Chains A and B, each alone.
Chain A
Amino acid sequence: MVSKSSNKLEKSDKLIKLSLLMIALSAVSVLAIITIFIFEQGLPIMFKYGLKHFLLGQDWYPSEKSFGLLPMIIGSLMVTFGALIIGVPLGLASAIFLTEFSSRRVARFLKPVIELLAGIPSVVYGFIGLMFLVPFIREKFGGPGLSVLAASVILGIMILPTVISITIDSIRAVPDSYREGSIALGATKWQTVKMVVLPAARSGIIAGIILGMGRAIGETMAVIMVAGNAADIPGSLLAPVRTLTSNIALEMAYASGEHREALFATGVILFVIIMILNTVANMTSARQRKRGSGR
């Protein structure tokens, strides 16, 4: 009786494995479908006017068939870089402090607080930026306030919870025996963190930073509200800026014909940038995994 039922169970196990494989392929299929649709809509116009026209053109006048996206490409890169400069040091410092330096009670209180704040929607960040940061920049530094600086700061704050909570998780995942070994050798707490914990947690930390970067470059609504959205290459940190994402969101509602296709072309470029980032990230963490598996 036992063998009969276990046979049946084994058969159903195979069926389960097959169904799980089908489910597991869903993410890849979704990615493929998205790629196909975005490229199908955006590529024809890119070939019609030439890649150079889109990538290097500085003038965005859709009604006059001029679709230069260079200002938006530069804009996106600038605000993303700015966000990392602000968000990564603050995020890593907070995560290291909460896991290794603060008392258990403080960490137990603050980690949930940060994770709760991760849920604050991007429109809310944009709104706060519009009400407080933009006027502040306008008064203290001059310019319209709606600027590269404002967008960078808001994005830097927005990626904080992501960077902090993922870094905390990966630092916590480092076995205590590593720390004990290091402390036993006479290292200080900071030496232990610097030389043992952080290297061991590196792939998780990189994943956190990449996720934060993706959030920054792909963020739309918060950026629209604080960046000013002028389709020119920003001359300074205080000049308004339009990103690839806001270019799509600002004009999608009323665009038609070639104008709409050009917005999908904007999507194609954004998509390609993101894919390059992802591949680089993937390769870094894969190398890390390989090295880590030796232990």
Chain B
Amino acid sequence: MSKLRINPRTEQKIISYLLYFLTSIAIIVLIFILTVILKNGLPQLSLEFLTRNPADMGREGGILSTILATVFLTFIALLVATPLGVGTAIYLTEYTLEGRVTKIIRFGAECLAGIPSIIFGLFGFILFVNKLKFGWSILSGGLTLAFMILPTIIRTSEEAIKSVPPAYRLVSFSLGSTRWQTVTKVVLPSAIPGIVTGVILSIGRSIGETAAVIFTAGSALRMPTSIFSSSRTMAVHFYILAKEGVSMPKAYGTAAVLVISILVVNLLTYYLMEKYIKRKS
């Protein structure tokens, strides 16, 4: 045994303690953030807070209009991005062999994923708000978000579809199915948990997005009446309340609603996935 080498068993022990320690730090920090928001935010919550519109620049009242703005914006984004993203993933995995076209598409999606939200904000501002004259509106914000979440949906759907065992497809083909039948009846049902995970991740990103939204949907504290009305989402509202020190209690309250809604959406996915996976086995 060479003297320079640490005994593998000792090394194993040291490493596992180190990993345990580092993991605890990571988990504790993340839990701390959640605890602070909920501890300070939950006392602010009431039916009134959720069902009344903000008054006096957010110092008084609730956050109803910002909740609705967030929901509409997210809905538009998903409506546009989900079909595009899942379609792209199906094409990449099931309909073509690796080649120049897939390389270009993958490169495009990967680059898009790396583009910062503020760039999407600039782009949405020029294209949707200025050139297409949608103005600061739910539509401009929703479309900008759709482009932003597209790569997430492509990537997760692709991973999900790829993880479906090839044997499933072979069996389906051997039964005489066409490619499309195989995709819709065999591959997609098996890939749904993964695809849903991507969609949920995107919902979370849409709900929490600020930089891309503030320059495309605006920050008007009004009830949204149509997809062309400018409106302030929860995240933008929270940012303005906190950054400009308008009202810390209301800021904490808004943050709590923001975080809870994201947690609820994500928990729901977990529940669905568990249920789905159990049914399959």
- Give the docked Cα–Cα distance between A116 and B11 (Å): 33
Q: Is A248 an interface residue (CB 8 A)?
A: yes
9-residue interface stretch from B46-54, B86-94, B167-175, B223-231: B86-94
Sample of 19 further A-B pairs with CB below 8 A, known A37-B127, A225-B243, A270-B119: A16-B180, A20-B91, A24-B88, A28-B105, A34-B120, A90-B26, A97-B16, A97-B20, A98-B23, A121-B262, A122-B208, A123-B239, A124-B259, A190-B11, A217-B116, A220-B210, A221-B210, A249-B118, A275-B114
9-residue interface stretch from B29-37, B58-66, B71-79, B185-193: B29-37
Contacts of A125 in B (CB 8 A): 33
- Say how far B83's CB is from chain A's closest CB, in angstroms: 7
Q: Is A67 an interface residue (CB 8 A)?
A: no
Partner of B180, one of A12, A24, A190: A12
Contacts of B209 in A (CB 8 A): 121
Q: Is A56 an interface residue (CB 8 A)?
A: no
Contacts of B127 in A (CB 8 A): 33, 37
A190-230 near B? 1/0 per residue, CB < 8 Å: 11000000000000000000110010011111001100000
Q: Is A60 an interface residue (CB 8 A)?
A: no
Which B200-241 residues have C-beta < 8 A from chain A? 201, 204-205, 207-211, 214-215, 235, 238-239
- Say how far B58's CB is from chain A's closest CB, in angstroms: 14
Contacts of A160 in B (CB 8 A): 26, 29-30
- Give the docked Cα–Cα distance between A128 and B83 (Å): 36
Q: Is B151 an interface residue (CB 8 A)?
A: yes
Q: Is B115 an interface residue (CB 8 A)?
A: yes
Q: Is B97 an interface residue (CB 8 A)?
A: no
- Say how far B172's CB is from chain A's closest CB, in angstroms: 13
- Give the docked Cα–Cα distance between A112 and B205 (Å): 17
Q: Is A254 an interface residue (CB 8 A)?
A: no
B245-281 near A? 1/0 per residue, CB < 8 Å: 0000001000100110011011100100000000000
Contacts of A245 in B (CB 8 A): 116, 118, 211
Q: Is B126 an interface residue (CB 8 A)?
A: yes
Question: Which residues of A are interface residues toward B (Cβ below 8 A)?
Answer: 6, 9-10, 12-13, 16-17, 19-21, 23-28, 30-31, 33-34, 37-38, 41, 89-91, 93-94, 96-98, 101-102, 110, 112-128, 130-132, 157, 160-161, 164, 169, 173, 187-191, 210-211, 214, 217-221, 224-225, 245, 248-249, 252-253, 263-264, 267, 270-271, 274-275, 277-278, 281-282
Asked, given contacts A24-B91, A27-B150, A33-B127, whether A118 binds B116 with beta carbons under 8 Å apart, the answer is no
Q: Is B117 an interface residue (CB 8 A)?
A: yes
- Give the docked Cα–Cα distance between A160 and B108 (Å): 25
- Contact in complex: A267, B204 (CB < 8 Å): no
Contacts of B154 in A (CB 8 A): 27
Q: Is B179 an interface residue (CB 8 A)?
A: yes
Q: Taking CB as reference atom, which chain B residue is nearest A30?
A: B147
- Contact in complex: B33, A274 (CB < 8 Å): no
- Contact in complex: A23, B91 (CB < 8 Å): yes
Summed over the interface, the residue pairs from A and B with CB atoms below 8 Å come to a total of 265
Contacts of A97 in B (CB 8 A): 16, 19-20, 22-23
Asked, given contacts A132-B36, A218-B119, A252-B122, whether A120 binds B259 with beta carbons under 8 Å apart, the answer is yes
Q: Taking CB as reference atom, which chain A residue is nearest B104?
A: A28
- Say how far B275's CB is from chain A's closest CB, in angstroms: 14
Partner of B22, one of A12, A89, A110, A169: A89
- Give the docked Cα–Cα distance between A121 and B236 (Å): 11
Q: Is B15 an interface residue (CB 8 A)?
A: yes
Contacts of A190 in B (CB 8 A): 8, 11-12, 15-16
- Give the docked Cα–Cα distance between A248 and B214 (Å): 12
Partner of A220, one of B31, B159, B211: B211
Q: List 23 A-B contacts (CB under 8 A).
A: A9-B180, A21-B101, A24-B88, A24-B105, A26-B88, A28-B108, A31-B112, A101-B20, A114-B30, A117-B30, A122-B208, A124-B259, A126-B239, A190-B12, A190-B16, A218-B119, A220-B116, A220-B210, A248-B118, A248-B122, A249-B121, A253-B215, A270-B116
The 9 closest A-B pairs by CB, nearest first: A218-B116, A121-B208, A28-B108, A119-B204, A23-B87, A93-B22, A20-B91, A24-B91, A214-B114
Question: Which residues of B are interface residues toward A (Cβ below 8 A)?
Answer: 8-9, 11-12, 15-16, 18-20, 22-23, 25-27, 29-31, 33-34, 36-37, 83-84, 87-88, 90-92, 95-96, 101, 104-105, 107-123, 125-127, 147, 150-151, 154, 159, 163, 176, 178-181, 201, 204-205, 207-211, 214-215, 235, 238-239, 242-243, 251, 255, 258-259, 262-263, 265-267, 270
- Give the docked Cα–Cα distance between A214 and B178 (Å): 40
- Contact in complex: A123, B33 (CB < 8 Å): no
- Contact in complex: A34, B123 (CB < 8 Å): yes
- Say how far B3's CB is from chain A's closest CB, in angstroms: 19
- Contact in complex: B201, A118 (CB < 8 Å): yes
- Say how far B25's CB is from chain A's closest CB, in angstroms: 6
- Contact in complex: A123, B210 (CB < 8 Å): yes
- Contact in complex: A120, B33 (CB < 8 Å): yes
- Say how far B198's CB is from chain A's closest CB, in angstroms: 12
- Contact in complex: A127, B34 (CB < 8 Å): no
- Contact in complex: A282, B110 (CB < 8 Å): yes
